[in-house]
């Protein structure tokens, strides 16, 4: 008579192995995590249903382009493009435009500590035909600012230093002929300048002798950037049942399908697509069946031996 401890131990080990192995086939059969996560849209304040090519909030980095990572804090949506932080005022999925205003301007500050230009990103973010530039000069001579239409001086305090600022909404000063030459030489002695895009429609609100308040008002209306983020690849991907994303390792578009990422579209199964649960159960039951039959075979062999 053999002691009963061996079969008991055998069945116990088999049971543990079964849990692990059959459990893992179950996980494999589940929808890919990236597919699930990138199918989610998020809301932030008044901006609803943010999806590809943006990431942020509940959308992990791999769901969007690395330069289009949004940050939602206190119901304010923000994006940082080349070191400058902007408040997102709107996202238009049809025209693929992003309306943004510089965060410092949105907070009524036209004299920020860091003077940085707004920069576009070739092949990703570009200005639209509605954008115009305003040039803001800093640290100008305190005396002798000439007056020209659509231009004005304003007081500034940066790094605890009082200074004179000057802005002009005129894109080509030369158009004002000789009356602009004084201004051109005055502005040449300002230490810094930045170009800030504004909407052409907002420019109309500035009077010919504008105030600092008027300037801030139009800056707060923001401007548009149009994005180009492999939109046709994304459409192909979505049409095949996938979710659009971006692989930062390969720096390429990625199409996340139910059973894993693909380059551009999800493979279409040749037979009628089975429901997710039906697809799952055979692998689970065949796994269990395999263990039981192996167990029974061994048990029978042991007994006959
Ligand atoms: C915007 O378009 C993207 C890409 O086609 C899509 O993933 C997202 O769901 C759309 N968002 C809304 C609010 O329609
Ligand atoms: C203000 O000070 C900071 C820190 O020293 C410096 O980086 C920045 O350029 C200064 N700003 C201006 C406009 O001089
Ligand atoms: C960016 O936009 C400008 C005008 O809006 C256009 O002339 C230019 O071709 C665009 N550049 C790219 C790379 O699309
Ligand atoms: C505004 O200025 C930027 C930077 O100098 C430039 O790239 C852009 O084309 C300008 N936009 C317009 C509408 O002139
Ligand atoms: C600015 O205006 C002057 C005079 O009208 C013109 O000769 C010049 O080409 C313009 N410059 C630009 C950059 O448009
Ligand atoms: C911003 O861009 C303008 C025009 O391109 C340039 O003259 C100016 O020096 C730039 N300012 C900064 C702070 O980089
Ligand atoms: C990116 O591509 C690499 C190489 O193909 C792969 O190992 C990685 O899992 C991919 N990452 C994502 C987020 O798809
Ligand atoms: C578009 O896709 C190509 C190939 O996947 C990639 O190299 C490129 O960086 C993508 N561009 C953008 C703006 O996502």
Please tell me the predicted confidence (pLDDT) of residue 279.
Answer: 42
230 Cα to the center of ligand 1, angstroms? 13
Whether 120 lines ligand 3, by a CB cut-off of 6 Å, is no
Ligand 1: residue whose CA is nearest its atom 12: 49
Probe residue for ligand 6, chosen from 104, 117, 138, 188 as the CB with the greatest number of ligand atoms within 8 Å: 117
144 Cα to the center of ligand 6, angstroms? 23
pTM over 0.85: no
Please tell me the predicted confidence (pLDDT) of residue 298.
Answer: 52
Weakly modelled stretches of the chain, pLDDT under 70 = 1-29, 269-305
Residue 39, sorted as left (phi over 0), alpha (psi -120 to 50) or beta, turns out to be: alpha
In sequence order, what DSSP letters do the residues of 142-177 get, joined into one string? SS-PPP-TTEEEEEEEETTEEEEEEEE--S-GGGGG
Probe residue for ligand 8, chosen from 63, 237, 251 as the CB with the greatest number of ligand atoms within 8 Å: 251
CA of 249, closest atom in ligand 7? 1
Is residue 179 within 8 Å of 149, Cβ to Cβ? Answer: no
Please tell me the predicted confidence (pLDDT) of residue 304.
Answer: 58
Q: Which two tokens stand for residue 305?
A: 């031996």
CA of 112, closest atom in ligand 2? 13
User: How many CA atoms are closer than 13 Å to the CA of 190, on its beta-carbon side?
Assistant: 23
Please tell me the predicted confidence (pLDDT) of residue 261.
Answer: 93
In whole numbers, what is the pLDDT of the chain averaged over residues? 85
Q: What confidence tens digit (pLDDT) does each residue in 193-228 have?
A: 999 999 999 998 888 889 999 999 999 999 999 999
Please tell me the predicted confidence (pLDDT) of residue 289.
Answer: 53
């Amino acid at each position: 008579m053999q002691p009963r401890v061996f079969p008991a131990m055998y069945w116990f080990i088999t049971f543990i192995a079964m849990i692990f192995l059959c459990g893992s086939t179950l996980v494999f059969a589940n929808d890919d995590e990236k597919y699930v996560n990138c199918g989610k849209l998020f809301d932030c304040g008044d901006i609803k249903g943010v999806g590809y090519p943006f990431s942020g909030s509940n959308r992990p980095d791999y769901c969007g382009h690395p330069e289009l990572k949004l940050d939602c804090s206190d119901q304010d949506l923000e994006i940082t493009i080349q070191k400058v932080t902007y408040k997102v005022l709107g996202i238009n999925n049809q025209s693929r435009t992003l309306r943004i205003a510089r965060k410092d301007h949105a907070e009524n500050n036209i004299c920020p500590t860091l003077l940085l230009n707004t920069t576009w990103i070739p092949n990703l973010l570009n200005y639209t035909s509605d954008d115009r530039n305003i040039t803001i000069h800093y640290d100008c001579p305190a005396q002798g600012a000439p007056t020209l239409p659509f231009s004005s001086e304003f007081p500034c305090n940066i790094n605890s230093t009082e200074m004179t600022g000057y802005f002009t909404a005129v894109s080509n000063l030369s158009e004002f002929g000789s009356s602009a030459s004084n201004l051109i030489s005055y502005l040449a002695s300002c230490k810094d300048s930045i170009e800030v895009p504004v909407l052409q429609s907002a420019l109309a609100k500035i009077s010919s002798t504008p105030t600092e308040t008027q300037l801030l008002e139009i800056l707060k209306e923001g401007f548009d950037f149009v994005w180009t983020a492999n939109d046709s690849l994304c459409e192909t991907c979505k049409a095949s049942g996938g979710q659009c994303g971006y692989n930062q390792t390969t720096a390429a578009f990625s199409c996340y399908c139910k059973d894993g990422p693909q380059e551009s579209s999800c493979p279409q199964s040749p037979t009628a697509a089975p429901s997710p649960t039906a697809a799952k159960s055979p692998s689970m039951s065949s796994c269990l069946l395999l263990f039981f039959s192996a167990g029974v075979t061994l048990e029978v062999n042991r007994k006959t031996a």
